[in-house]
């Protein structure tokens, strides 16, 4: 089996509380958005070993907090829930620093940036996702983001 990563970028907008991933196709939206050939379906049988949610590096501190408070990630296959967990478990390589000075300039009170502290959610028992089966991956938040923010969801595993 070969390593495989499926990814999809979603712009949150400022009114949605459910953010649906893997609804794009590479042909329509480009390789910088997704590598899916068909929306909501994987092109090969896939063993999901790790799930990662990557917020844009320019996410506001207030919006980053929304990924920690009352936020869930749900995976469904053929309309049946396969997995649900708090979103912070899937966050990867991002941090939010709060404060003034203490490493920040006097004009900065908060910032975001890349820092390897979290590595997403690793499944103890990998999930099998058959090819051409309806796949839904949603991030559900208690409140909408204050600024339109890009979020990237990665499904990391292997395919035949």
Residues of the domain holding 102? 2-159
Question: Would you give the DSSP letter of residue 58?
Answer: T
Number of domains in the chain: 1
Report the CATH number that the domain containing residue 93 is assigned in CATH.
2.60.120
Given a cut of 60, whether residue 142 has pLDDT beyond it is: yes
Residues 6+ apart with CB under 8 A from 22: 6, 8, 34, 36, 39, 40, 135, 136, 137, 153
Q: Write down the pLDDT at residue 99.
A: 44
Please tell me whether the overall predicted TM-score, pTM, comes out greater than 0.75 for this model: yes
Q: List alpha helices for the chain, DSSP H.
A: 26-29, 61-66
Which pLDDT score, from 0 to 100, does residue 105 have?
55
CA dist., res. 130 & res. 45, Å (int): 4
Other residues' Cβ atoms within 10 Å of the Cβ of residue 155 = 23
Q: Give 31-72 pLDDT, tens digit per residue.
A: 999 999 999 999 999 999 999 999 988 888 899 899 988 999
Residue 102 confidence (pLDDT) above 80: no
């Amino acid at each position: 089996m070969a390593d495989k990563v499926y990814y999809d970028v979603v712009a949150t907008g400022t009114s949605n509380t459910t953010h649906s991933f893997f609804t794009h196709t590479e042909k329509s939206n480009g390789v910088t958005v997704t590598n899916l050939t068909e929306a909501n379906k994987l092109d090969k049988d896939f063993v999901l070993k790790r799930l990662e949610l990557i917020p844009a590096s320019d996410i506001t501190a207030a919006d980053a907090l929304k990924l920690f408070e009352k936020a869930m990630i749900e995976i469904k296959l053929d309309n049946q829930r396969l997995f649900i967990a708090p979103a912070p478990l899937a966050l990867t390589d991002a941090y939010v620093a709060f404060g003034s000075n203490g490493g920040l300039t006097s004009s900065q009170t908060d910032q975001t940036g890349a820092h390897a502290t979290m590595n997403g959610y690793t499944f103890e028992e990998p999930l099998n996702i058959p090819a051409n089966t309806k796949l839904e991956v949603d991030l559900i938040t208690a409140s909408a983001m204050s600024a339109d923010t890009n979020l990237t969801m990665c499904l990391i595993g292997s395919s035949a």
